[in-house]
């Protein structure tokens, strides 16, 4: 059972540029954390480190006080929705069974509906073939099938990297509420620029220059923090749009 994840003095660099610099972060079981930062600040690198695709140049990542490399069932604990989810040239059913070979059809339909694909499935069956890299469906539909796949996996730790990518604004609220219900008893790490999905987290960690510079609830962040500036810019843009 997952209890705690710790980044301890982690440094990762690419082409002599430090992406993460003496990075420290602790995430406990059931914590819901959004990681906020500008492009290129290392958010994607964090995910790749957690997936063990890459290793730190220095420092260590611990899971339950053990090195992440010593956790044999790590990939059973963790589930990731990334912006580049792979779609197989097979049926919808086959693409979902990859996540959970024991899933029943009713579970698949429920996951697809929770992912915002109810209308899409009105004209499709689970035997519909998606094509190579999902060429017979849109980018948004691919993202939502990947989300349905994650819902079926039902991991202890959920990592969402822009989970509303391609989700229609008309179903966005419903999808957000479904994700919120799904993660209520899970540990969540969220990376997103969509304000609606940020509402499902309890805390925000601001990533700047390869380090966490602030961590806490929204009201605990300074008025000049990247997080508050980020929200203010979005609010001003919305007001301008309404005026125009």
The superfamily CATH assigns to domain 81-187 is P-loop containing nucleotide triphosphate hydrolases (3.40.50.300)
> Rounded to whole angstroms, how far apart are CA atoms 211 and 41?
9
Architecture of the domain defined by 1-72+202-244: 3-Layer(aba) Sandwich (3.40)
- Spell out the residues 6+ positions from residue 216 whose beta carbon is closer than 8 angstroms to its own: 203, 204
Tell me if domain 1-72+202-244 and domain 81-187 are identical in fold: yes
The mean pLDDT of the chain is 89
Q: Is the model more confident about 58 or about 243? A: 58
> Rounded to whole angstroms, how far apart are CA atoms 244 and 157?
42
> What local confidence, expressed as pLDDT, does residue 242 receive?
58
> Rounded to whole angstroms, how far apart are CA atoms 15 and 222?
33
Query: What are 126-179's pLDDT values in tens digits?
Result: 999 999 999 999 888 988 899 999 999 999 999 998 888 777 777 888 888 889
Q: Read off the tokens for 55.
A: 């290793």
Half-sphere exposure of 76 (CA within 13 A, CB side): 5
- Does the structure show a pLDDT above 60 at 244? no
Domain ranges of the chain: 1-72+202-244, 81-187
In this prediction the pTM is 0.88
Per DSSP, the residues of the chain read: ---EEEEEEEEEEETTEEEEEEEEEEEETT-EEEEE--TTSSHHHHHHHHTTSS--SEEEEEETTEEGGG-TTHHHHEEEE-TT----SSBHHHHHHTT-TT--HHHHHHHHHHTT-TTGGGG--TT-B--GGGTTS-HHHHHHHHHHHHHHH--SEEEEESTTTT--HHHHHHHHHHHHHHTTTSEEEEE-S-HHHHTT-SEEEEEETTEEEEEE-GGGS-TTSHHHHHHHHHHHHHHHHHH-
């Amino acid at each position: 059972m997952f209890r705690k994840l710790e980044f301890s003095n982690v440094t990762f660099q690419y082409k002599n540029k430090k992406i993460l610099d003496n990075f420290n972060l602790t995430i406990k079981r059931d914590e819901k954390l959004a990681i906020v930062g500008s492009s290129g600040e290392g958010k994607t690198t964090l995910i790749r480190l957690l997936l063990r695709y890459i290793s730190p140049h220095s420092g260590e990542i611990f899971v339950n006080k053990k090195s992440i490399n010593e956790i044999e069932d790590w990939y059973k604990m963790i589930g990731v929705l990334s912006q580049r989810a792979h779609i197989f040239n097979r049926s919808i059913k086959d693409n979902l069974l990859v996540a959970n070979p024991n899933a029943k059809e009713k579970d698949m339909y429920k996951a697809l509906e929770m992912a915002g694909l109810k209308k899409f499935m009105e004209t499709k069956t689970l035997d519909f073939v998606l094509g190579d890299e999902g060429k017979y469906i849109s980018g948004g539909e691919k993202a939502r099938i990947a989300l349905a796949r994650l819902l079926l996996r039902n991991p202890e730790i959920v990592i969402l990297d822009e989970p509303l990518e391609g989700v229609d604004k008309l179903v966005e609220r419903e999808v957000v509420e479904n994700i919120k219900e799904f993660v209520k008893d899970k540990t969540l790490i969220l990376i997103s620029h969509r304000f609606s999905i940020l509402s499902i987290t309890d805390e925000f960690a601001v990533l700047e220059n390869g380090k966490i510079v602030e961590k806490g609830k929204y009201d605990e962040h300074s008025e000049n923090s990247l997080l508050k500036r980020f929200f203010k810019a979005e609010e001003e843009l919305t007001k301008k749009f309404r005026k125009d």
